[in-house]
């Protein structure tokens, strides 16, 4: 079994802006946040979980069909937020703006195509486009969570960072104590 997901990439300029946000949070002394390495940041469209490697070709064919008729998408960074809220953060993220309706439609088509063609479950949760900056450890107190949320609201973000999405990627994720590593198993053009 391999752990996999479908995602689109981001530009180096966007990665640099996210690294700067993470650096600013660290300078504010936030505790208990496991930051995502900038090179590991991606925009997940469908998390597949543990799949049989024999499904890779089926998933890539489904991606090909889902991408038909969709041209490149323009996205841009748009503010820092948290799940479930900045008052009690568990995940810190940066939001997106731009061709979000087209992105949501692409995600819906990928979700449907992979489910129908490959027998994988549909994602039932509403798609919320974001780039994960980090996750708070379970041991972080309520008071520290509140401080992290406050720091996140004070961090500046270069909102002029934008890029064009031209392809979707099927990515293998390998977890280790030092963090996840990613391998692109295949791409399909928009």
Task: Give tens-digit pLDDT for 78-90.
Answer: 999 999 999 999 9
pLDDT in tens, 110-131: 999 999 999 999 998 899 999 9
pLDDT value for 189? 96
Domain residue ranges in the chain: 2-189
Report the run of H or E that residue 143 belongs to, with start and end: helix 142-154
- Record the pTM: 0.92
Nearest CA-CA partner of 166 in 106, 77, 113: 106
DSSP, res 127? P
Q: What's domain 2-189's superfamily in CATH?
A: Cyclic phosphodiesterase (3.90.1140.10)
Q: What is the mean pLDDT of residues 54-75?
A: 96
Percent of the chain, pLDDT > 90?
Answer: 82
Q: How many CB atoms lie within 10 A of CB 81?
A: 19
Q: How many CB atoms lie within 10 A of CB 109?
A: 19
pLDDT value for 95? 94
Mean pLDDT across the chain? 93
What is the Cα–Cα distance from 147 to 35, expressed in whole angstroms?
16
Q: What is the mean pLDDT of residues 164-171?
A: 97
Higher pLDDT, 65 or 31: 65
């Amino acid at each position: 079994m391999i752990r996999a997901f479908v995602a689109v990439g981001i530009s180096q300029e966007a990665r640099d802006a996210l690294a700067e946000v993470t650096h600013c949070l660290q300078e504010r002394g936030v505790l208990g946040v496991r930051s995502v390495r900038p090179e590991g940041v991606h925009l997940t469209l469908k998390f597949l979980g543990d799949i049989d490697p024999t499904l890779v070709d089926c998933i890539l064919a489904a991606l090909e069909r889902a991408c038909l008729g969709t041209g490149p998408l323009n996205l841009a960074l748009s503010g820092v937020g948290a799940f479930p809220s900045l008052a009690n953060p568990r995940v810190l993220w940066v939001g997106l703006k731009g061709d979000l309706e087209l992105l949501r439609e692409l995600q819906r088509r990928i979700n449907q195509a992979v489910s129908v063609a490959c027998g994988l479950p549909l994602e039932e949760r509403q798609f919320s486009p974001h780039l994960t900056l980090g996750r708070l450890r379970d041991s972080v107190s309520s008071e520290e969570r509140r401080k992290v949320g406050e720091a996140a609201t004070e961090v500046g973000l270069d909102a002029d960072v934008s890029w064009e999405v031209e392809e979707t990627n099927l990515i293998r994720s390998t977890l280790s104590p030092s963090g996840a590593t990613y391998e692109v198993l295949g791409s399909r053009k928009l």
